[in-house]
Amino acid sequence: MELSTNQRGFGVAAAIPAELIAPLAKAAEQAGYSTFWVNDTPGSDGIQALQLAAAETSNIRLAVGVIPLDRRSPAAIAKRVQKANLPIERLVIGIGAGGAQMGSLDLVERGIVEIQELTGSRVAVGALGMKMIGLAGELAAGVILNWLTPQWAKQSVEVARGFDRPEPIEIIGYVRTALEESRTRLELEADRYASFPAYASHFRRMGVPAIETCATGSSELIATSLTASDAVFDETVVRAIVVAETLDSYLAVLHAGRPA
């Protein structure tokens, strides 16, 4: 599938009730989203979730982000993708260093090369620091940026695009998105990330609390926030945060953040 810029993706955690995945993927495709994203969170299987999504869709890209390479090897990821029989032309595999400290850049570099060779899929790298963003810019098909204001994202975009390559890197920006009734749940998510040392330093550098990188409030406020992100990212991912794990709750966010 060809790279499309200035698009919206819709994202959920792979750990949400399995019966919600297929109808949400179908609704995202019908609403004009470019990609359906699932997060490979602990205790869940993002690739299995994409298998459910693939069965009910035909055109939307299917993406998992990000699989931690300190817990799953490239060979294990490739085997899982092949077993799920996912449509490679629609697939994006997001990877990251996970909890690895020493040698994280080497770990991800090997992961990019091996997964591309073993699966033929596009590989995107979840990156926070500039060195990892630069690695993605040099070798990966995409970079996944998280918890950034549009203003601060511009520096990361410049680093990722600072390489002479035959195909431009895709800049993917996750934006946690919640309607007003789910703001407390969003604040808990923001506080959880701010408790991690690497992210705490990240928010201090920006000089903004985590919650200010999110899109929240009425549908109108969410639309305004996401439009600002669209100006920076090739794909803005509407990462849905809801207070109730129901189809209607997720659909409300999906429609609030849908592409114009």
- In DSSP notation, the chain reads -----SEEEEEEETTS-HHHHHHHHHHHHHTT-SEEEEE--TT--HHHHHHHHHHT-SSSEEEEEEEETTTS-HHHHHHHHHHHT--GGGEEEEEE-TT--TTHHHHHHHHHHHHHHHH--EEEEE--SHHHHHHHHHH-SEEEEES--HHHHHHHHHHHT-S--SSPPEEEEEEEEEEGGGHHHHHHHHHHHHTSHHHHHHHHHHTS-GGGGSEEESHHHHHHHHHHHHTT-SEEEEEE--SS-SHHHHHHHHHHT---
pLDDT in the model for residue 5: 55
- The CA distance from 111 to 116, in Å, is 8
- The CA distance from 94 to 173, in Å, is 13
pLDDT in the model for residue 1: 40
* Residue that the structure tokens 């431009």 belong to: 168
Q: The whole model's pTM is what?
A: 0.95
Q: What tokens does 5 get?
A: 């810029």
pLDDT in the model for residue 15: 95
In a domain, 113, yes or no: yes
- The CA distance from 100 to 89, in Å, is 30
* Count of domains forming the chain: 1
In a domain, 2, yes or no: no
Range of the domain at 33: 7-256
Would you say the C-alpha torsion 70, 45, 49, 236 has a positive or negative sign? negative
**CATH classification at residue 183:** 3.20.20.30
Instruction: For 34-76, write each residue's pLDDT tens digit.
Output: 999 999 988 889 999 999 999 999 999 999 999 999 999 999 9
Greatest pairwise CA separation for the chain in angstroms: 46
pLDDT in the model for residue 41: 86
Cβ–Cβ under 8 Å, residues 249 and 22: no
Instruction: For 97-124, write each residue's pLDDT tens digit.
Output: 988 878 999 999 999 999 999 999 999 9
In a domain, 230, yes or no: yes
In a domain, 41, yes or no: yes
Residues of the chain with pLDDT under 50: 1-4
In a domain, 1, yes or no: no
- The CA distance from 113 to 68, in Å, is 15
Q: Cα separations (Å) of 217 from 88, 144, 150, 221, 240?
A: 37, 24, 18, 6, 13
In a domain, 86, yes or no: yes
Nearest 10 degrees: CA dihedral of 39, 42, 45, 47? Answer: 40
Other Cβ atoms less than 10 A from the Cβ of 124: the count is: 27
pLDDT in the model for residue 102: 85
* Residue that the structure tokens 């630069």 belong to: 134
